[in-house]
Chain A
C-alpha cells in the first residue's frame, strides 16, 4: 500500500492556481505555525544572527564593537583556515567514495539470495544506530598502537609493523575513515537496496537473452537504475563528511599536530575555547557559503530531467 502512496505524489503538483481567499490562507498557515515557531527561533534567526555577529568583535558576554568585514579579512589571510578547510575536504575525498562504493557492494550482495540474508543485512546496518561517542570509543581502542586488535591482526598476518594509527599523520585519516565507513555504510546500503528493488527484473532477463554478461548488466542496467539515489547520496555524503567533528574530537583531538583539525572543530575552538564568537561566526558564514554552493550544484544536477 505504501509503495502506491509514494507514487501518487507526482500527481499532486505543489503550485496550483487558486483565488486568494484570506480566511483560507490564514487557516492553512495556522497549521504551519507550530512548526514555524521553533524553526524561526532556532534555525532562521541563528542564520541571520550569525551573519550579523560575523561583522563584530563578539565574546561570550556580548557584542564589543562593529568591525565590518575585518573578521573575514583576518580569516582569509590566515593560513590555518586553508589547512583546516583542506582537512575537511581531504576527509570528503577519502570517506565519501569509500562509503558509497562499499555501500553499493554490500547492497549488491544482500540483494542476492544468500544465507540468512536478513540477519546479515542487520549486521551491516547495526553500527548506524550507535552514537558517535560509542563508535569513536570502540575504534580508539581497536586502533590502539601497542595492544590494539588491529595491529594484533596485522602481526598475525606476518606484518611486523607497529602502526601508530592515531598519532601518525600518514595513517590517522585512514583510521577515522574506517571508523566512519563502518558506522555509516549501513545507511547507504539500505538506500541502494531500496533503489535496486525498483529496477524491473525483466530488464535483466531481456539483457540476458541478448547475451549481456554480469558485468555488462551491472554497467548498463544496475548503475543507471541507481542514478537518482546515487546523485542524492553523493551530495549527502559530501555534506556529511564536511560536518566531521565527533570522531576527531574523541579519537584524535585534532592531532597529531593539527592534521585532523576540521572546519567544524576550528569553529568550535575559535568560538568556545578562545571566546571569539564574532570570528567563529564569520568562519561559519564562509563554511555555510561553501555548503550552499555544493547544494546549488546538487540542485542543478538532480533537476535535469534526462538524469
Chain B
C-alpha cells in the first residue's frame, strides 16, 4: 500500500515536471490565434500542424543560430577537453616541484565566475578585436578548470607500471599521454566533454554581450530577440523555444548515461 502511494506520487510529480515541455510542444503545433489556454482547445488534436515551424525557420535566422551554437559548442568542447587532458596528464604523471603552485592557480579559477568579470573580459575581447566574432565565445570557454580536476582523478587511476614500462621502451612523454592515458580515460573524457558541450550550448550572458550582429548570434542569446519583436504570437515564441530545445533534448536522450555520469562527477567535486 505504501509502495503504491509512492509510485503514484512519483508518476504525478513526473507528469507535473514534464507538463511545461509538453505544453510548449503542443502550443508550437497549434494554429495561430487558437486559444491554447482552455482545456477543450488544448486537447483538440485535429488542428495540430507544423506551419509555425515553417514560418519561424523562414522568417528568422534560427537555423543559422543553431549552426553557430553547434560549431561553437564542438570547438569549445574538443579544444577544452584536449587542453584539460594535457594539463591533467602533467599534474598526474609528470612529478614536478612547482605543480602545487600551478594547481592552486588553476583551481582558483573556480572561485570567481565569468559573470563577475564581464566588464574587463569585454574590454579584453574588444582590444583583441574579438567582439562579434565566434572566437570571443570559444576562447573564454576554454578556461574552465573542472575538466582538469576530473581528468586528473582518472589519470591518477592509470597504473604507474604502464607508464614505467612504456618509458623503458623509450616512449617520450607525449606518447605516454596520447597512447596510454588518453585511451584509458576515454569514457571520462566523453562524460566531461558532453558536460562542456551543454554548458557551451546553453551559455547565455557572455554571448549575449559579445555578439552584436544577428548573423553571428548563437541560439541561446538570439532567442530573446523574439520577445522584443512585439507581433510574435505565443505560438511562434513556443515554436522558437521548441526549435532551440530539440537538439539538447535529442542529445540528452541519446547520451543520457554519459550526461548523468558527467554531472555526478562534476558536482561531487564541486
List the interface of chain A (C-beta within 8 A of B).
2, 4-6, 8-9, 11-12, 14-16, 18, 20-21, 24-25, 27-32, 34-36, 38-39, 41-47, 49-50, 53, 60, 106, 109-110, 112, 114-115, 119-134, 137-142, 147-149, 152, 182, 187-188, 190-191, 193-195, 228-229, 232-233, 235-236, 239, 243, 245-246, 249-250, 264, 267-268, 271-272, 277, 280-281, 284, 287-288, 291-292, 295
Given contacts A25-B98, A43-B143, A271-B118, whether A141 and B234 have CB atoms under 8 Å apart is yes
**CB within 8 Å of A: which of B190-225?**
198, 201-202, 204-205, 209, 219-221, 223-224
Check A122 against B256 for contact (C-beta < 8 Å).
yes
Minimal Cβ-Cβ distance residue in B for A198: B268
Minimal Cβ-Cβ distance residue in B for A137: B241
Check A147 against B204 for contact (C-beta < 8 Å).
no
Check A194 against B205 for contact (C-beta < 8 Å).
no
Given contacts A131-B201, A182-B20, 19 further A-B contacts (CB under 8 A): A12-B92, A25-B98, A28-B94, A30-B90, A42-B121, A43-B143, A46-B121, A115-B7, A120-B11, A124-B14, A126-B21, A133-B220, A138-B23, A188-B267, A190-B263, A194-B264, A195-B268, A250-B227, A284-B117
Write out, one digit per residue, whether chain B residues 1-40 have a CB within 8 A of any chain A CB (1) or not (0).
0000011011101100110110110010000000101110
B148 proximity list for chain A (CB < 8 A): 35
Check B264 against A271 for contact (C-beta < 8 Å).
no
Nearest CB on A from B209, distance (A): 7
A46 proximity list for chain B (CB < 8 A): 117, 120-121, 123-124
B14 proximity list for chain A (CB < 8 A): 119-120, 123-124
Given contacts A131-B223, A191-B268, whether A138 and B24 have CB atoms under 8 Å apart is yes
Check B263 against A187 for contact (C-beta < 8 Å).
yes
Check A148 against B37 for contact (C-beta < 8 Å).
yes
A27 proximity list for chain B (CB < 8 A): 94, 96, 173
Q: List 5 A-B contacts (CB under 8 A).
A: A18-B97, A35-B87, A123-B14, A126-B249, A271-B119
List the interface of chain B (C-beta within 8 A of A).
6-7, 9-11, 13-14, 17-18, 20-21, 23-24, 27, 35, 37-39, 82-84, 86-87, 89-92, 94-100, 102-103, 105-106, 109, 111-113, 115-124, 126, 128, 139-140, 142-143, 145, 148, 152-154, 156-157, 173, 177, 187-188, 198, 201-202, 204-205, 209, 219-221, 223-224, 226-227, 234, 237-238, 240-241, 244-245, 248-249, 251-253, 256, 259-260, 263-264, 267-270
CA distance A295 to B107 in the complex (A): 12
Given contacts A18-B95, A132-B204, whether A53 and B89 have CB atoms under 8 Å apart is no
Nearest CB on A from B91, distance (A): 8
B99 proximity list for chain A (CB < 8 A): 14-15, 28
Given contacts A35-B84, A277-B119, A277-B123, whether A152 and B37 have CB atoms under 8 Å apart is yes
4 smallest A-B Cβ distances: which pairs? A5-B157, A31-B90, A28-B96, A131-B202
